[in-house]
Homo-oligomer: A and B are copies of this chain.
Amino acid sequence: MNRVSTGGAAPQRVFLQDVAMRDGLQAETAFVATDDKVAFVDALSRTGLAKIEVTSFTSPKAIPMLADADEVMRRIERVPGVEYTVLVPNVRGVERALVTPPDEFNLVMSCSETHNLANLRMTRAASVLQLLEVMRLSAQAGVPVNVSLSCSFGCPMEGEVPAEVVLDHAATFVEAGARGVTLCDTTGMAYPSQVAALCDAYRRRFPRAMLTLHVHNTRGMGLANALAALHAGVDRFDASLGGLGGCPYAPGATGNVCTEDLAHMLALEGCRTGVDLSALLDCARRLGGLVGHALPGQVVKAGRRLDLHPVPASVAEARDRAVAPLAGRPEQAR
């Protein structure tokens, strides 16, 4: 197993990208006020995250939660060093988004034909054509593009999705000029050796393209998959604060991997994420109030590894009893 940092080697730089405000909120039912979204993005901007997926320029009818995409993008404060990305599904989305241009457009399609039909209501071939059109317009506007490939590790309806299908879709977009691809474990079907193998194959085939891993914790393997990817050289991770969200279209799907839990593990593994874990945990504690329900994040509940607990009084008593004979107290006192 390759260690990411051993001895005197410099710690590995890892880029953390939070998707709670788009991928997470999209799965919520109760509308979150625009003011609250803006304030939350502004707070996240000060945690040291590398990238924030702010919103989605989909049709307000399709996703009412994110109908205020224009206003949110106009009002958030752009903190230098943080990239602000938005999802755009089509040319209309790009045109809307360009009014307050983000640092990146995130495009989405699925590697599974069935999932693409269920989720986007078109074939994969039609999605490819549409996204290439979006890419041409983005290039004209000078906004770089990332493509998120859903179901890269399996489809909840079809089952296995061959690695070649995933890599060929990645090739289509990388060759058309995408800066990078996100391999998405949309419904938590990925397992560690699969993650390592696919990420490794991607990096060998596209050595100059960015690679992001987007994992879910649906079957408990979220951080194990992130670890496997880390050791395969992956240095960019999507995650969702508090573990907010999932995929509303994929049956049975729950749980984006939790940003603060991932950041906590990466710090322990010696990675340099630039994230201020205290600030991130503060945001995570606020998020439950924003969406009005409990969230699956675990470090928020248990505290960081070295957040110590007070020593109970019984310990001093037990210690006193233990040393009593040495102190010359009567034997009965033991």
A residues sitting closer than 8 Å to B (CB atoms) are: 1-4, 114, 117-118, 121-123, 126, 154, 156-160, 188-189, 191-194, 196, 217-224, 226-228, 231-232, 250-254, 258, 261, 264-265, 268-270, 297-299, 301-306, 308-312, 314-315, 318-319, 321-322
Contact = CB atoms under 8 A, between A and B. Distances in A.
Contacts of A118: 311-312, 314-315, 318
Contacts of A298: 217-220
Contact of A121 (B2, B196, B306, B318): B318
Nearest to A126: B322
A220 B258 contact: yes
A118 B308 CA distance: 14
B265 A318 contact: no
Contact of A315 (B117, B227, B228, B299): B117
A241 to B, nearest CB: 14
A299 B228 contact: no
A302 B228 contact: no
Binding site secondary structure of chain A? loop
Given A220-B258, A302-B254, A309-B157, A192 B227 contact: yes
A303 B159 CA distance: 13
A113 to B, nearest CB: 8
A265 B220 CA distance: 9
A1 B196 contact: yes
A184 to B, nearest CB: 16
Given A189-B305, A218-B298, A254-B302, A117 B231 contact: no
